[in-house]
Amino acid sequence: MRLNRYLARAGVASRRAADELIKKGRVTVNGQRGELNTFVAARDVVEVDGERVGKQELAHVLLNKPAGVITTASDPEGRPTVVDLVGHEARVVPVGRLDIETSGVLLLTNDGDLAHRLTHPRYGVEKTYVAEVEGDLTPAAIAALAAGVELEDGLTAPARARQLARSRLELVLHEGRNRQVRRMCEAVGYPVVSLRRTGYACLDARRVAVGESRPLTRDEVEGLRRLVGL
């Protein structure tokens, strides 16, 4: 595998950060300075700043994210992160983002190929949200959300929308724009009071308490990989 991917799998850094380590000459393969196009074979010895590193086993973790936790690996302001909550021995990172106020299903992994495809627009991975909003929803508002809403970054794609209660709705998206559900609801006149992601592809958190996590089953991992053609 390519050197930056190997370093990411070893828990050293993200691929982007690994590229910087390689450019600075801090990474060697079999005693030779690594390059961005260096490939690592099974018996190769990889070192960073003279310390040997090894590839980690793939890990896939489902977190039931609480509100108030940021979706990142670290935070310069010292706020709690989803990686802190999971506390996995492998260097897992979140796949996509949930904003700090949003709770629910979040996948973390060190499987870079899977994470890349799950977040790529080409694959249109399904994400299900339940939103509590201000005011009494109308059929017209639900229809508008389903048809597509004009936002500052363009018209949203058609979605599935249904009313669950007077001020509660379910929205199923295949896009991943920043704060998309909140912006869509506000655009049709119903600001979000609380938001929870209840499903991501084939995953849900029905058996995971808020703030807790669990490893994915083999069937779940295989289902995700099939979904994105791996």
Pair (36, 66) in one structural domain: no
99, 111, 153, 204: which one is catalytic? 99
Q: Which pLDDT tens digit goes with each residue over 86-120?
A: 988 778 889 999 999 999 999 999 888 888 899 99
Active site residue 99: yes
Task: Tell if the pTM clears 0.85, that is, is over it.
Answer: no
Structural domain span for residue 9: 3-53
54-59 contacts at long range (C-beta below 8 A, 24 or more positions apart):
54/10, 55/6, 55/9, 55/10, 56/9, 56/10, 56/11, 56/90, 56/91, 56/110, 57/90, 58/9, 58/109, 58/110, 58/111, 59/88, 59/90, 59/92, 59/109, 59/110, 59/111, 59/215
> What pLDDT, on the 0 to 100 scale, is given for residue 98?
94
Q: Within this chain, do residues 44 and 87 fall inside the same structural domain, yes or no? A: no
User: Residue 68: what pLDDT?
Assistant: 94
Q: Please tell me whether residues 91 and 196 are part of one structural domain.
A: no
CATH code assigned at 16: 3.10.290.10
Q: pLDDT at position 116, please?
A: 86
